[in-house]
Structure 1
Amino acid sequence: MQSIPVLIYHHVLPEGENTAVAESLFIEQMRFLAKNGWHTLSADEFLAFKKGALEIPRKSVLLTFDDGWLDNYLYAYPILQQFGHKATVFLVTEWVEKASKCSPVHKIGWKTHKEAVQLAQTKPNESVLHLSQIQEMQDSGLVSFESHTHRHISLHQQSIDLRRELEESQYFFVSRLGKPSRHLCYPFGHYKPEDSLIAKRCGFEICYTVKNGANLADGHLAEIKRFTVKNKRISWFAYKLFIFNRSYLATLVEKVRKQ
């Protein structure tokens, strides 16, 4: 049975690190997809597949980027254009709102995820996507944008008002990008079973986790499985795609991880 690998990226940078793929390696990964017949999906195509409403090529994959970092525009986007690949970026909408109060920045002066997060709190325009950059990427037809909540706070915190968090994020999408988001990515992968019901009432049809496993055309939309792309050799990348494109292997990985 067909399973769709859903890949997690955060950063694409000149030099790789724990949560960043080196620019040269990202080129190699995107070239691998192109040369080996992989079809990159939009978020809505993936949703239609999950509902059983869309037949897609056997070798299909969903590329996702978490948080909405500036390097997604500066480094990843030109490479996506080069190969014609689609991707989805999950935005922390409060960060984008704050970053967009300043002029867009077209270079980065940081090297690590930790530095980027620190700047997101103090000088977000130096590490987070600007609205004009988001609109340019969206207009290309290659990159779609969805919600990573408004403030990127762990849903394990008892004090968080998830409904308000999601409503504020939806307001951004409607007022700034012209349509609501239907896809929600949980911050840090933290969530409770009832959170998908709250998300649905706020207009989100499908929720993404950081759990490994199979993504089948089964209509189950509450816990989309993803795996993090590491700054490792292309053979590792190819191996992961092989595993998570096969339901029996992907399910086996999920069972082993639970033990």
Structure 2
Amino acid sequence: MKHGIAQDGLTSTTCIGLFLAAPSIPVPIVRAGLYLARSLGFFWLARRLTRRGLRIICYHGFAVAEEYKYRSTLFVRGEFFRKRVEYLKRKGYPILALQDALAALAVDRLPPCATVITMDDGWRGVYTVGLPIIRELNIPVTVYVTTYYVENRIPVYTVTVSYLFWRAAAQRVDLPRGIGAFDLRHEAEIAEEVVQKFGAELPPAERLEFLRELAKALDVSFDEIEGEQLFRVMDEQQLRGLAAAGIDIQLHSHRHNWPLYDQKMVESEIDENRRFLQRIVSRPLQHFCYPSGVYGPHQAEWLARLGVKSATTIDPGLNYIDTSPFALRRLVDGGPVSDIEFAAEMTGFMELVRSLRRWLSARRTQRAGAGMNSSGPGQPSLPCGKGGA
């Protein structure tokens, strides 16, 4: 179901003030503020101030057809990726292998504005669309691979279901297997949630058959999905080809299901993931990416015991010598990210903005605490935390 604010005459001070202080700003105003900041030299200054920070960029898959119209962060076009890498090279961002970058970061010997490119999940388009571009541009890339769907050759269920509902032409649907009838004009999210839960309990072969039934009910061609091999991860042969081409393949859990507090499940996910990939990859499997960015600081010890040396998040920001190797920040790139926003992240301007916003928030908290403490005798003393950059 394919179910900006213009402001004239804003001064530069007003634009930057809005940008730094407001919790939510319309995208056109943000971009206007970024263009203004660049023209005033703030991008250049930010790059100098943050040059010792490691930039790690996060991509996911490549569109093999028109999936980018559905989720343009999950599936980027090949030309989009090419232009990004060409920008990095043109602007002098050295692109390093993950292992080399982390080793240099640990001893504070990174080249200025060092950059790492990572890709999550192991989507088929990384091999069919991305690899030729990676080879042509001669860049190191790390691909974090989740292995359940490598082993079970069906489309990724959660993403396929979401796509089918996005494509649905019908306004009302009677879902298969007695799940229920829904008015998609008002209940699409509820219907999709029910279907996601239902399919999670099915074995792979039955899950595939249910996807066909669901597509028919929603009046979407499943033949197109199967014919173009949409929403599939790489198979073993493609992963071997990726590894043979020098791509760094690393850990991303087996089922892409990551608990916060179940240590045994964490161990199982890493062990199964590593055991499967060891049949394909000769280099050590010791770097990890948290599925969907779910993690807790307490998991660092768990991962270290499992022989993992680093773990990436989807928290925005740069990485310095004092950044935990188990909470590495990344810049998530994709179709919705404009050129000026990408430049703002890469130069470190947005890093400085986030630091300033944290500082302003801490100041407001301190003032509020001071106000309560000065409200009269007998009031309890409230602790105030300090904000850091």
TM-score greater than 0.5 by the shorter chain:
yes
Deviation (angstroms), 1:23: 2.2
Is it true that 1:81 corresponds to 2:184 in the alignment? no
Deviation (angstroms), 1:238: 1.9
Deviation (angstroms), 1:3: 0.5
Q: Which residue of 1 aligns with 2:218?
A: none
CA distance in 2, matches of 1:250, 1:3: 15
Counterpart among 214, 217, 223 of residue 318 in structure 2? 214
> 1:178-223, CA deviations, whole angstroms, 9 ceiling, x for partnerless residues?
3441111111111222212111111101111111222013363121
CA distance in 1, matches of 2:239, 2:55: 25
Q: Which residue of 2 aligns with 1:34?
A: 89
The letter for the 1-side match of 2:355 is L
Please, what TM-score do these two structures have when normalized by structure 1? Answer: 0.80
Gapped runs of 5+ residues in structure 1? 103-110
> 1:67-109, CA deviations, whole angstroms, 9 ceiling, x for partnerless residues?
110011111111111111111111002222334xx9xxxxxxx
Q: Which residue of 1 aligns with 2:144?
A: 90
Q: Which residue of 2 aligns with 1:238?
A: 343
Matched pairs, number: 243
Q: Which residue of 1 aligns with 2:57?
A: 7
Deviation (angstroms), 1:157: 7.2
Contact 1:214 1:250 in 2 (8 A): no
Contact 1:3 1:215 in 2 (8 A): yes
CA distance in 1, matches of 2:85, 2:149: 28
Gapped runs of 5+ residues in structure 2? 1-49, 165-195, 209-225, 363-389
Aligned ranges 1:78-227 → 2 under 5 Å: 78-99=132-153, 114-115=162-163, 126=229, 127-141=232-246, 143-156=247-260, 161-218=265-322, 220-227=324-331
Deviation (angstroms), 1:140: 1.9
CA distance in 2, matches of 1:236, 1:112: 29
What SS class does the counterpart of residue 73 from structure 1 fall into?
Answer: helix
CA distance in 2, matches of 1:44, 1:113: 36
Cα distance change of structure 1 residues 82 and 179 upon mapping to structure 2, 3 Å threshold: closer
Identity between Structure 1 and Structure 2 (%): 22
Is it true that 1:68 corresponds to 2:122 in the alignment? yes
With 233-242 and 78-87 compared, the bigger mean Cα shift is at 233-242
CA distance in 1, matches of 2:267, 2:341: 39
Computed over aligned residues only, the root mean square deviation of the Cα atoms, in angstroms, reads 3.3
Please, what TM-score do these two structures have when normalized by structure 2? Answer: 0.55
Report which structure shows greater RCO (CA 8 Å, sep ≥6). 1
What SS class does the counterpart of residue 274 from structure 2 fall into?
Answer: helix
What SS class does the counterpart of residue 280 from structure 2 fall into?
Answer: helix
CA distance in 1, matches of 2:234, 2:288: 18
Structure with the higher fraction of residues in strand conformation: 1
Cα distance change of structure 1 residues 208 and 64 upon mapping to structure 2, 3 Å threshold: same
The letter for the 2-side match of 1:238 is A
